[in-house]
């Protein structure tokens, strides 16, 4: 049973990034408008980067392929994202979003340190190397 816990963890963490990335793909104008309202310049450039990070990192974590790299990328992505979009901790909802991001960052650090676990593509490829 313990070998499935990292898989469940990866699924739960990746869902938020994949949904956010695909949401940005489906409504790029709305996302760029929100980014501009938060004072961000070059919204098209940053939108593309956010989609790349969320979908790419989310798929990496979900599949367990290059899990540590994907987790680190998402962790680093969340630092400016949290500070730019959830800095108004006087607003109860923004405080919740700020704390949610901190909790996700904690889970990502666990993945960055320990990897994807037994049920990951990383483990599968390392098992093949061990057998040869």
Question: What does the chain come to in residues?
Answer: 132
Predicted local distance difference test score (pLDDT) of residue 2: 87
Predicted local distance difference test score (pLDDT) of residue 128: 63
Nearest C-alpha neighbor of 34 from the set 23, 22, 43: 43
CA dihedral 78, 83, 84, 88 (to 10 degrees): 130
Q: Does the residue 22 lie in any domain?
A: yes
Predicted local distance difference test score (pLDDT) of residue 129: 61
Phi, psi (rounded to 5 degrees) for 41: -85, 170
Q: Does the residue 131 lie in any domain?
A: no
Number of domains in the chain: 1
pTM (two decimals) = 0.91
Q: Does the residue 128 lie in any domain?
A: no
Check: CB of residue 117 under 8 Å from CB of residue 110: no
Predicted local distance difference test score (pLDDT) of residue 126: 66
Predicted local distance difference test score (pLDDT) of residue 62: 98
Check: CB of residue 87 under 8 Å from CB of residue 110: no
Predicted local distance difference test score (pLDDT) of residue 130: 55
Q: Does the residue 6 lie in any domain?
A: yes
Q: Does the residue 132 lie in any domain?
A: no
Give the structural domain span for 117: 2-123
Enumerate residue ranges in the chain where pLDDT < 70: 126-132
């Amino acid at each position: 049973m313990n070998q499935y816990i990292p898989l469940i963890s990866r699924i739960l963490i990746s869902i938020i990034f994949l949904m956010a990335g695909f949401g940005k793909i489906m409504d790029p104008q709305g996302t760029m408008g929100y980014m501009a309202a938060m004072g961000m310049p070059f919204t098209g450039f940053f939108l593309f980067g956010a989609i790349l990070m969320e979908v790419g990192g989310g798929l990496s974590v979900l599949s367990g392929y290059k899990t540590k790299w994907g987790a680190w990328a998402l962790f680093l992505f969340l630092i400016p994202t949290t500070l730019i979009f959830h800095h108004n901790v006087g607003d109860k909802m923004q405080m919740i979003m700020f704390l949610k991001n901190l909790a996700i960052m904690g889970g990502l650090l666990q993945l960055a340190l320990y990897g994807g676990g037994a049920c990951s593509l990383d483990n599968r490829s390392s098992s093949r190397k061990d057998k040869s």
